[in-house]
Amino acid sequence: MLVGCAEPAPLPRVVSFAELPGWADDRLTEALPAFRASCAVLAGLPPDRPMGGEGATARTAGDFLPACAAAQSLAADDAPAARRFFESRFTALAVGEDVLTGYYEPELRGSPTRTGPYQTPLYARPPELVEADLGQFAADLRGRRTAGVVRDGRLQPFHDRAAITAGALEGRGLELAWVDDPVDAFFLQIQGSGRIRMTDGSVLRLGYAAQNGLSYYAIGRALVENGTLTRETVSMQSIRAWLAAAPPAEATALMNRNPSYVFFRPLAELPPEAGPLGALGAPLTPGRSIAVDRTRTPLGTPVWVTGAARRLTVAQDTGGAIRGPARADLFTGWGEAAGAEAGGMRDRAALFLLLPN
């Protein structure tokens, strides 16, 4: 009876690969391209560059290099070798269970100038926006960042979404493109990257450049709190449906409840077949790249995900709503099908970090 009432081991804790649910069934070779893409970025960083994590999970870029070197010789179709590689080069740590959501790279319709239906701007980063790594000032803020503008020698909050939507940045030449749907622009900021199909048929790839420093607020929460949606029915699709049906002023007011605002940069170097760049700087791989809380999980880390999906992924991105040791966002790809998959994804999942030995 005493054994049955024993407290579970504290997290994070080391587990064997045999304890990972579904580990034996995954095609681990499909995760190798994502891991190698991370390695290409890590190889260019100073070995002592912190990649994230805390305590037992903290790692630097140099910690990954031996495993990265070994990964280069693996054949793309050698499943047994891939399994031996991950099991010998990494130690699995259980970090808990939380919600797994999905995100994708949307495609919008845009114009290089403000004309006709193209009335919503996508902005480049304002030059006066200053980012600060708070961990450099206080140990308990390690991994936390903020942004703002310096006035009178002090870092002050930057414009919020409502002010920017009302025209706070107009006339400064910061517009990268104009799109025909403010709701599409809103969700593009949540996803962090996208493809803009321009009026001349060309495609403009945009990636995350900066954020205004204000906290992200999930507008679905407001629709649940006022009874419009329930926790069971709230999703990207149901929120978009409400915004599409609402009077424009009400839709704008709801979107402005989220003060966070994202700025973009052109990604001319990305070919059409490549995914967008994540926070690590590596192209994301559909179904194998995840966004994590980098204060808990080092970028570049392979992560075993269990739940509705059981697969090996790689931590290559971050997100404003991704907070906690076991919270993750799975990248599903680009286009309508990927958007449908991402929008309906909200599953309980356990995460296991594979940290380099």
How confident is the model at residue 8, as a pLDDT? 63
The whole-number average pLDDT for the span 82-91 is 98
The residues, any chain, with a CB within 8 Å of residue 265's CB and separated by 6 or more, are 124, 125, 206, 207, 208, 209
Phi, psi values for residue 71, rounded to 5°? -70, -25
Nearest to 35 by CA among 351, 357, 355, 314: 314
Distance CA 255, CA 64 (A): 40
The whole-number average pLDDT for the span 228-256 is 94
Give the three-state DSSP class for 278.
coil
Q: Which of 141-150, 181-190, 192-201 has the lowest mean pLDDT?
A: 141-150
92-137: per-residue pLDDT in tens? 999 999 999 999 999 999 999 999 999 999 999 999 999 988 878 8
Q: Could you tell me if 283 and 275 are in contact, meaning their C-beta atoms sit under 8 angstroms apart?
A: yes
pTM: 0.79
How confident is the model at residue 336, as a pLDDT? 86
The sheet carrying 120-123 orders its strands as 120-123, 175-179, 107-111, 194-198, 203-211, 262-266
Is it the case that residue 3 has pLDDT exceeding 80?
no
CA–CA–CA angle 38, 12, 287 (5° rounding): 35
38-63: per-residue pLDDT in tens? 999 999 999 999 999 999 999 999 99
* Amino acid code (one letter) for 4: G
How confident is the model at residue 191, as a pLDDT? 87
170 pLDDT band, cuts 50/70/90, is very high
253-273: per-residue pLDDT in tens? 999 999 999 999 999 888 888
The whole-number average pLDDT for the span 201-221 is 94
How confident is the model at residue 2, as a pLDDT? 46
Average pLDDT, the chain: 93
How confident is the model at residue 139, as a pLDDT? 78
Is it the case that residue 1 has pLDDT exceeding 50?
no
